[in-house]
């Protein structure tokens, strides 16, 4: 008898074929009447696979009395209530590490694209503006600029390392100082006032909710650039739109938004903004590695009771492979 699992959100063909080999997979997207499905199947569901965006809604968690493991396809797990997991002895896992390089690459890409006006200049050529009106206006260099990183964990450290190549002067803000050579700020607003670029790369959730507020954006200033590859919730989005409209903040490169898949329409008209649809880890290579780790956590748990990458809150519950 295969263990039964619920799949929330999509999965790649590769993930599905691995999951189907080991589990009887129920797909939430194919369930029309959840209550009817739950009365027939919920007791048998011991595993859930989900992603960072969908997480597990409280009503779904509550409907699965024998749930033992939630495997999240993504490093951010703020859409999973880990307090409930710990109280119920459910192990949650995620996919840290394997996406560091590509998320860092997108942060650098957004910095370069916003500073070098990539979107404007691409249009300059395509629209015939170049031939009609001559050279595009000058842009700004990222070489030797001051960069403040909010969150210096696995990904933040990778961003810093990559920016060293551009000669950037790197500082960071976290709750605890790290053993690194970069300048530490214990106050985010002070760091924002000292840098040209502020890059957000913390987890989402209550601890980081709207950390980048009006004051921080004002401190970054009319020549400053905000890059967000963390979560939309880390930035006060209404204040961000106002700050850009009023010129109190100069530029923004944004991969994440408060109400995905919707982004504020006011941003669509702005030439000083570069937008991507939460694709920082969305390369074929990285998504394959994330998918493999998501499935390996599930298989390992059912084969020998261990997992590879529990979320920190559940580490005490988990035997680690």
- 201-240 positions binding ligand A2R, by CB under 6 A: 201-204, 207-208, 230-231
Q: Give the number of residues in contact with ligand A2R, rule: CB under 6 A.
A: 22
Number of H helices, E strands in the chain: 12, 14
The answer to whether the beta carbons of residues 56 and 79 sit under 8 Å apart is yes
Q: Which residue is nearest to ligand A2R (CB)?
A: 153
Largest CA distance in the chain: 71
Of 33-41, 104-112, 174-182, 245-253, which part binds ligand A2R (CB under 6 A)?
174-182
Nearest approach, Cβ of 289 to ligand A2R (angstroms)?
A: 14
Query: In the complex with ligand A2R, which residue's Cβ is closer, 35 or 260?
Result: 260
Of 6-14, 196-204, 245-253, 271-279, which part binds ligand A2R (CB under 6 A)?
196-204
CA distance 21 to 29: 20
- Set 43, 59, 223, 260: catalytic member: 260
**E strand segments, the chain:** 4-7, 24-27, 45-51, 69-73, 91-93, 146-150, 169-173, 183-184, 197-200, 225-228, 251-254, 273-275, 306-307, 319-320
Nearest approach, Cβ of 314 to ligand A2R (angstroms)?
A: 14
DSSP result, 237-297:
HHHHHHHHHTTSS-EEEES--TBTTB--GGGGG-TTEEE--S-TT-SHHHHHHHHHHHHHH
- Set 26, 94, 173, 278: catalytic member: 278
Nearest approach, Cβ of 226 to ligand A2R (angstroms)?
A: 16
Catalytic annotation present for 14: no
- 92-151 positions binding ligand A2R, by CB under 6 A: 96, 103, 151
Q: What is the token pair recorded at 98?
A: 């394997």
Nearest approach, Cβ of 61 to ligand A2R (angstroms)?
A: 20
Of 43-51, 59-67, 132-140, 198-206, which part binds ligand A2R (CB under 6 A)?
198-206
Query: In the complex with ligand A2R, which residue's Cβ is closer, 64 or 252?
Result: 252
For residue 2, how many other CB atoms are within 10 A of its CB?
A: 12
Instruction: Encode burial over 139-167: b for 16+ CB neighbours within 10 A, e otherwise.
Output: eeebeebbbbbbbbbbbbbbbbeebeeee
Nearest approach, Cβ of 31 to ligand A2R (angstroms)?
A: 28
Q: Is 25 in the site for ligand A2R (CB under 6 A)?
A: no
Q: List strands edge to edge, sheet with 91-93.
A: 24-27, 4-7, 45-51, 69-73, 91-93
CA distance 204 to 70: 18
Query: In the complex with ligand A2R, which residue's Cβ is closer, 19 or 240?
Result: 240
Query: In the complex with ligand A2R, which residue's Cβ is closer, 132 or 175?
Result: 175
Nearest approach, Cβ of 208 to ligand A2R (angstroms)?
A: 5
Q: Is 174 in the site for ligand A2R (CB under 6 A)?
A: yes
What amino acid positions are annotated as catalytic residues? 231, 260, 278
For ligand A2R, the binding residues (CB under 6 A) are: 75-76, 96, 103, 151-156, 173-176, 201-204, 207-208, 230-231
């Amino acid at each position: 008898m295969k263990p039964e699992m619920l799949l929330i959100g999509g999965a790649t063909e590769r993930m599905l074929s691995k999951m189907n080999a080991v589990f009887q997979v129920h797909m939430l997207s194919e369930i029309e009447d959840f209550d009817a499905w739950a009365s027939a199947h919920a007791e048998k569901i011991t595993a859930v696979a989900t992603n960072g965006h969908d997480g597990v809604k409280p009503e779904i968690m509550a409907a699965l009395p024998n749930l033992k493991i939630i495997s999240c396809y993504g490093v951010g797990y703020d859409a999973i209530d880990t307090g409930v997991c710990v109280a119920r002895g459910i192990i949650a896992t995620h996919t840290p590490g394997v996406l560091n390089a590509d998320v860092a690459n997108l942060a650098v890409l957004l910095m370069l694209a916003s500073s070098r006006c990539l979107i404007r200049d691409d249009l300059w050529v395509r629209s015939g503006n170049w031939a009609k009106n001559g050279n595009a206006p000058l842009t700004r260099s990222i070489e030797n600029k001051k960069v403040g990183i909010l969150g210096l964990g696995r990904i933040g450290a990778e961003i810093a390392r990559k920016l060293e190549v551009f000669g950037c002067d790197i500082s960071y803000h976290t709750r605890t100082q790290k053993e690194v050579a970069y300048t530490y700020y214990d106050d985010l607003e002070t760091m924002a006032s000292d840098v040209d670029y502020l890059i957000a790369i913390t987890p989402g959730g209550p601890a980081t909710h709207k950390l980048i507020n009006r004051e921080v954006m004002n401190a970054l200033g009319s020549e400053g650039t905000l890059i967000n590859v963390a979560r939309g919730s880390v930035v006060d989005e209404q204040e961000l739109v106002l700050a850009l409209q009023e010129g109190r903040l100069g530029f923004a490169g944004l991969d994440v938004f408060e109400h995905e898949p919707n982004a504020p329409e006011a941003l669509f008209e702005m030439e000083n903004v570069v937008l991507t649809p939460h694709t920082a880890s969305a390369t074929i290579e990285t998504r394959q590695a994330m998918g493999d780790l998501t499935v390996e956590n599930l298989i390992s748990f059912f084969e020998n009771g261990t997992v590879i990458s529990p979320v920190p809150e559940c580490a005490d519950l988990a035997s680690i492979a």
